[in-house]
Structure 1
């Protein structure tokens, strides 16, 4: 573990940071011209297994925007790919499986990650060599429901009907699927911790499509296991998209920090969760609206989070790919000055 005084780690631990800490989900990616140049002609998943390129892309927004953390450039399906699952990221669509997981036999044949991914560890090491003591390295893994949905649907889905059908028609099969996915996620997270990350985020892209009873029965036990696997080692952030109605249940999984998307106010979120540290929740579209709109939102969120033990600034989801890079830099500066 590095010795540092990164504002994000201070805030996550309920201490007063030296400045308002900020990082943005998807801060490394298509919004940056240097990213498009670095990845030209290289497949998305391939780039996640190339240490020097992985590190370069991870560091680009830190250099450009003065954010307080680097977020590992990766994808939630990387551990599946490393375990031997046939998956590719199709431009304009997302992760697509060679064959969906739909039956008990399919689940039984799903490989579990049991080897290291040295390219990721090497990439993290390169990043850590460049970061200052005030900058944190955040790792991440996809939550088991989101990974399960990709596996069952065969790719992205608007309604997750096949996923929910399996969950309710064959609950035993569903639980076996989660029991096979969880060790792979835990293993990938553990490798990131061993490589030196300072904090982690469990990212549940699709949990917001569930109601609370289903989340508690079919998802919460497994997300809890993942977060428990690194308890006491690094600060843990838990975030889902469209999960305002699930915040209470999600906060029971045990993270130190709860991420909040832009659909629910931080004041309401604070009443729903068990932790006293929140992350979020600027609307990503505000970065298209000009500095005055960003300043107004920063002032509102600052007021809503005034009574918390800690607050990490972020968007209420990821940077949109058509966002002007200069607008991101200005938003970070506004947060540092006024947040």
Structure 2
């Protein structure tokens, strides 16, 4: 029995004594304890060694006091498992040296046996669940098919992913074939995470907001819909499509338990679009964590007041940035824990 099940009760739509809080990318780069491990081990070595992934996952529970752990891993382990080389260069980001350019390149991509290619993730989850000892729930995750396609076609990070978009527009048959392969792999991967012990899962569509509403439906949401449908009766599913606020109503209709939102939409507007029956997660601007602590508390309190305390998971509107002082991150969490609605 979980000692702290605030997150799961909120995801089930139950009224809770306070708003649960966690932070995207909470396991990692802003924590001095993480930096010690980063000096010793390469990025994928950290991901692929269950003992290291477990230790990193649990660090923010001990140090920051969040209400949930999220597995330390990376969305690009899926393209890696599907047969593409992925390099992660510190301070520069991901590089895929041999990206997908045409339909013929799909012969290099496979739908893997996830137990063989991603078993280290499942081992990390099992170990983490054991080490957490029922303190808080564990969140598993994967990248959304559209976001993974962006990297698999672009070959690196980008602000606009023009090559990826052009691939979808000029070679739609190849694009949809690749998206379906990623979707099938992701469903198997997340089912494996759940079987290993993940209490809930989040689908990250980091680049969903680069698409207009029709293209978001065609190249992203139709595949996210398949993922949610395959999982939602087993565990609650959180969908975070950064910048795709215009489709919150369609995302809510997938059966997801919660929708993440960024700071570019007000809680009131998000609620108006998404409806009253779904949990909203967010939406503090991570850079505001550089404010002086009294200002952080004021801004966090405003965010919480704007959400009203019901059907809300407090979080950032994107991942925490490396330059955030630990006591500032803790101030964010503590302010949420201390806040209560006025009514």
So what's the TM-score if we normalise by structure 2?
0.93
In structure 2, what is the equivalent of residue 165 of structure 1? Answer: 166
Q: Displacement, 1:272?
A: 1.0
Secondary structure at the counterpart of residue 84 of structure 2: coil
| Partner in structure 2 of residue 97 of structure 1 | 96
Aligned to 1:191: 192
Q: Alpha-carbon deviation of 1:4?
A: 5.8
Match of 1:270 in 2: 271
Q: SS of the residue aligned with 2:262?
A: coil
1:67 equivalent in alignment to 2:69: no
Whole-angstrom CA distance in 2 between matches of 1:115 and 1:10: 30
Instruction: Report if the CA contact (8 A) 2:206-2:241 is conserved.
Output: yes
State the SS of the aligned residue for 1:203: strand
Matched, 1:32 2:31: yes
- Offset of residue 224 of structure 1: 0.7
Residues in 2 aligned to 1:52 and 1:134: alpha-carbon distance in whole angstroms: 18
Structure 1: where are the runs of 5+ without partners? Answer: none
User: Is 1:293 aligned with 2:300?
Assistant: no
Deviation at 1:148, TM superposition (A): 0.1
| CA shift in 2, pair 1:271/1:163, >3 Å | same
Query: Per the alignment, do residues 193 and 262 of structure 1 end up closer, same or farther by CA in structure 2, a change over 3 Å counting?
Result: same
- Equivalent positions of 1:208-223 (< 5 A) are 208-223=209-224
Deviation sequence 1:39-65 (CA, Å, 0-9, x none): 223211121110000000000001001
Contact 1:80-1:113 at 8 Å conserved across structures: no
Q: Is contact 2:79-2:152 (8 Å) kept?
A: no
Instruction: Show the counterpart of 1:15.
Output: 14
For the 8 Å contact 2:145–2:179, the answer to whether it is kept is yes
Confirm whether residue 318 of structure 1 aligns to residue 319 of structure 2.
yes
Cα displacement (A) at 1:115 = 3.4
* Aligned 8 A contact 1:80 1:184 in 2: no
In structure 2, the residue corresponding to 1:162 is in which secondary structure? helix
Deviation at 1:3, TM superposition (A): 5.5
Tell whether 2:45 aligns with 1:46. yes
Rate the CA distance shift 1:227–1:4 in 2: closer, same or farther, 3 A.
Answer: farther
Give the structure 2 partner of residue 305 of structure 1: 307
- Aligned residue number for residue 113 of structure 2: 114
Which is worse superposed, 76-85 or 151-160?
Answer: 76-85
Contact 1:8–1:17 (Cα < 8 Å) also in 2? no
Which TM-score applies when normalising by structure 1? 0.94
Q: Number of aligned pairs?
A: 337
For the residues of structure 1 that align with 2:289 and 2:3, how far apart are their CA atoms? Answer: 30
SS at match of 2:312: strand
Q: Structure 1's 137 and 227: CA in aligned 2 closer, same or farther, altered over 3 A?
A: same
How does 1:121-136 map onto structure 2 within 5 Å?
121-136=122-137
C-alpha distance in structure 2 between counterparts of 1:163 and 1:104, whole Å: 13
Structure 2: runs of 5 or more not aligned: none
Structure 1 contact 221–253 (Cα < 8 Å) conserved: no
Deviation beyond 6 Å, 4+ runs, structure 1: none
Q: In structure 2, how many angstroms separate the alpha carbons of the residues matched to 1:250 and 1:94?
A: 29
Tell me, what secondary structure is at the counterpart of 2:204?
strand
